[in-house]
A and B are shown apart, each in its own frame.
Chain A
């Protein structure tokens, strides 16, 4: 689960804050879409939640222990990410020098899962994302949709409490985008993970439990299509 309270961020020279006094929560197993105009600060918000960027004020509580990532130092943030957060980017960001299986195994290494469990868990997830025969392949030989499926598997393999996705299907053609997104949501529901998904696609937003719209004046909660 995720609880954001009174979060504020302003970039150095800007004359007004990007956002301030943001308050919202994502419940356990809940999938929330984050939409808004380009440049409004969605990626920045996600980065602040993941501790890649530092908020000026407020708190971000993550996981069952509700650790506040804003208050942690860099090392502790990294450790919290390793344990509790999965991240999917618009650009696939797969390590080109590791095989598909090794790429997916990296989070397991980082959160200290015993070595014996790596292969079965990786293999199982590869099957779930439809890449059963791909374990030993190198990323350079995969298509964009396949790469994004590897990235999804990597984001979920360590069963994080929170999944953050920044336009996960923005780089894919509409058909592949639909497939990949359906897969992502399916896996997230299956693992009971909370998820915050930034998207420009109305279609994607509609498949989430709830939609939050970021505007220069704050967050707007909008109706939930699924209910």
Chain B
């Protein structure tokens, strides 16, 4: 009968009936607090689950997309430089390896179809090897049309592309009346830079993925028209079944020329997951914070619930409810909040995931995976995991109240109500004061030590390339804040109570001093929520100031023009060079991508017309600018590149450029908030001297003085004709800042939620502590205090607790803001910036919170003083 296991079934059932009665009563009498705790748990679960679902879907979608176009090769041979190619000799050498079953060579390039705004991937395949390697790319000949087959120059479009072509043909019918290229037998004009070729549409790609814009042709046909002359883009290798893949790849990696790399399927998935890893972790930390605030709310709710029902639980104890059942009951109530909360969270998370992928795509607006809205497919195991996490948070919140409830001394709880600390039965009463005394004296030491630990953690380098120590340091700062609350309370109230004060104020001070647990809980909620909010505000503002300054530096020209992914047409470049063009200066730039590590996203190579002796005029350097030794080209690397690959100015670097490894000198490091995975700038002269073919994709334009309007008008027809983008620097700046603001919009929502939760925690605990003193207040009322005096006392109490919370919260917020700015951002995203504290915004927030806290305590005071004094005194037990 004593242990749970020994309980007979009928008794179990009876106990669960009792349990259910209590839970139901609890939910009925504390509806708002319970609901809010549930919602907070739901929010945490929803965020975490949505992030998981979206990422999972995006990754598997990306994987499927890769497979569809690339097949499932055992290895891929490719050039490290996106402008480079794999020599045919290499392909032939690999094909002769006895372990190799098949090598499928592919040439891929981007073309425009008749100046359509979006470029299309043109893939040249060898039909026979493609049959085995990439069945999704196999063309289907349209037998009805009199079109050449693939070996005779037919090209084949994916269904998405066909639909796009039909649409644009319809759109242009009225203006040009020209119908071509929308069905087999039609002619397509393919453009790439200065090259133009006509091709005949000969059929479609029946199994291409629905949103891929693809054009497939024979590899020799593509090579003859778009190059490269003696190479291919990639060789996809299938090995004999009994080959050891890893050692084969390793052996070949050593034999390949330096400009080439060998990739495996795992590299692709690692690269894709590396793309958004830091961003994801950041969002997950936010989800964790939401879950923790949920736990805090459950804690506040259950603590007050236990306090308010202390007499009831003591009575149940007298009637024979075992201590363990008293503990279990409070935990069960926690679960009763956690389970529906988590279930709601799962549903909410699913809805969030679906909405977000529809609206923002698979990268949560982070800009990592372009274009596709992946399908969300929930699996059971992760759903259960998140359900368990939500319940765990709720249980964690309920555990201390449950412990207090178990430890309540029955006889005393019946006589005088809730005991805020577990009884100190075990130790003699005479010594307990000395304990408390020495504890109080030792108190400043603990926060101090923790603060030192937090500071030390903030100095640590990233772990697994994530700022884990930084996150731990933030958690410690919050602990320091909470741990130093009693100290500040003592100082403040010690000083205040020494002042000559009127009675209501004196009562308020005494109450805070005598109900340390409740005051502590209320203050902790505010400390944490205000610290997190202030720190986010500080971080975002620092970032925004830095981005603003950075934009100033990187947008020197009044006008910009860019083509998307294909080189700019030569006739435009020629016209710009002519004296009639209304421009004082034009700077051209080309883009390429280099693979330095196959498991990491590619590094951008920016080939710019930049003055090699004065690159600082165009790039915002963060440190010294060094001149290269004679005969060595200089490059200037971005801050993320320096951090990811651990590079510094004055070092030399072997860049996989133009099919070989080129030794370059790092002349300096410049700030870049645009490309998270690194960028290298090289001057056009150096690039061309190395043998590179400079094909500009972007232009910076300085119109002649006073001719800004003419310049824009001059560019308009070109932009129209070639689908180019023209923007002035002010517009780019506005757009960049609005993208910045949008991507931080979600943090504002979370800040608001955090503040609400903190305030609600304050209101709940304050109301409970007032409720616990209802008899005392009523006695005071009977002694002649009027209602106004009493409610003033309670409001003062709320204001005092809130001030302590806000003061500590502000200090913690600044510390956390500094950690976010100086540790988390650089380690997770390689963004460095100076700390810029928006004092007005922070103080305004503090004042508003204080006002809200006073309002919340006014509500609590109203509740307490509304009851007629006589009734309270009569009901007192």
Which positions in A face B, CB cutoff 8 Å? 12-13, 43, 47, 50, 52-53, 74-76, 78-83, 85, 87, 89, 91-93, 95-98, 102, 106-115, 154
Contact = CB atoms under 8 A, between A and B. Distances in A.
Given A93-B311, A93-B414, A81 B323 contact: no
29 contacts: A13-B430, A74-B323, A75-B323, A76-B2, A78-B323, A78-B325, A79-B2, A81-B319, A82-B320, A82-B321, A85-B320, A87-B318, A87-B319, A89-B414, A95-B315, A95-B316, A97-B21, A97-B25, A97-B26, A97-B28, A97-B29, A98-B21, A108-B14, A109-B15, A110-B319, A110-B321, A111-B320, A112-B14, A114-B10
A65 B661 CA distance: 93
B319 A112 contact: no
A81 B320 CA distance: 5
Contacts of A12: 428-430
B315 A75 contact: no
Contacts of B10: 112, 114-115
A143 to B, nearest CB: 11
Per CB-CB distance, the 3 closest pairs between chain A and chain B, nearest first, are: A82-B320, A97-B25, A112-B11
A95 B309 CA distance: 9
B404 to A, nearest CB: 15
Contacts of B428: 12
The secondary-structure label for the interface of chain B is: helix
Contact of A78 (B25, B312, B321): B321
Interface residues of B, number: 36
Given A52-B410, A112-B8, A115-B13, A106 B322 contact: no
Given A75-B324, A91-B877, A97-B22, A106 B316 contact: yes
B735 to A, nearest CB: 59
Contacts of A75: 2, 322-324
Interface of B: 1-2, 8, 10-11, 13-15, 17-18, 21-22, 25-26, 28-29, 311-312, 315-325, 410-411, 414, 428-430, 877
Contacts of B15: 109-110
Contacts of A82: 319-321
Nearest to B326: A78
Given A109-B15, A112-B8, A113-B14, A79 B411 contact: no
Which one of B317, B322, B429 has the highest number of Cβ atoms from chain A below 10 Å of its Cβ? Answer: B322
A82 B21 CA distance: 18
Contact of A13 (B325, B429, B877): B429
Which one of B1, B323, B325 has the highest number of Cβ atoms from chain A below 10 Å of its Cβ? Answer: B1
B502 to A, nearest CB: 34
B14 A115 contact: yes
A96 B17 CA distance: 17
B411 A98 contact: no
A50 B14 CA distance: 23
A12 B17 CA distance: 40
A220 B323 CA distance: 36
A91 B873 CA distance: 12
A69 B428 CA distance: 24
Contacts of A97: 21-22, 25-26, 28-29, 312
A144 B410 CA distance: 23
A134 B372 CA distance: 67
Given A96-B312, A107-B320, A115-B10, 14 more contacts: A12-B428, A12-B429, A43-B411, A75-B2, A76-B2, A79-B2, A93-B877, A95-B316, A97-B28, A109-B15, A110-B15, A110-B18, A110-B319, A113-B14
A16 to B, nearest CB: 16
Contact of A95 (B312, B323, B414): B312
Which one of B15, B324, B411, B429 has the highest number of Cβ atoms from chain A below 10 Å of its Cβ? Answer: B411
Contact of A74 (B319, B322, B411): B322
A52 B316 CA distance: 12
B322 A79 contact: yes
A118 B325 CA distance: 21
A27 B377 CA distance: 72
Contacts of A112: 1, 8, 10-11, 14
A109 B25 contact: no
A115 to B, nearest CB: 7
A109 B14 contact: yes
A30 B319 CA distance: 22
A113 B319 CA distance: 14
Nearest to B427: A12
A53 to B, nearest CB: 5
A13 B316 CA distance: 29
Nearest to B410: A52
Nearest to B24: A97
Nearest to B12: A112
A95 B25 CA distance: 10
Contact of A110 (B8, B320, B323, B414): B320
A52 B430 CA distance: 23
Contacts of B410: 52
A102 B14 contact: no
Contacts of B322: 74-75, 78-79
A221 B584 CA distance: 119
Contacts of B29: 97
B7 to A, nearest CB: 8
Contacts of A13: 429-430
Contacts of A83: 320
Contacts of B1: 79, 112
Contacts of A115: 10, 13-14, 17
B320 A93 contact: no
Which one of B1, B14, B21, B411 has the highest number of Cβ atoms from chain A below 10 Å of its Cβ? Answer: B14
A140 B404 CA distance: 27
B454 to A, nearest CB: 41
A113 B322 CA distance: 17
Contacts of B8: 112
A85 B317 CA distance: 12
Nearest to B429: A12
Contacts of A85: 320
Contacts of B877: 91-93
Contacts of B21: 97-98, 102
A190 B22 CA distance: 32
A83 B322 CA distance: 12
A113 B21 CA distance: 17
Contacts of B26: 97
Contacts of A76: 2
B319 A107 contact: yes
A110 B321 CA distance: 7
A52 B318 contact: yes
A178 to B, nearest CB: 21
Which one of B1, B17, B318, B321 has the highest number of Cβ atoms from chain A below 10 Å of its Cβ? Answer: B318
Nearest to A144: B874
A105 to B, nearest CB: 9
B424 to A, nearest CB: 10
Nearest to B430: A13
Nearest to B323: A74
A111 B14 CA distance: 9
Nearest to B22: A97
Contacts of B320: 78-83, 85, 107, 110-111
Contacts of B11: 112
A52 B325 CA distance: 16
A109 B20 CA distance: 12
Nearest to A76: B2
A91 B875 CA distance: 9
Contacts of A43: 411
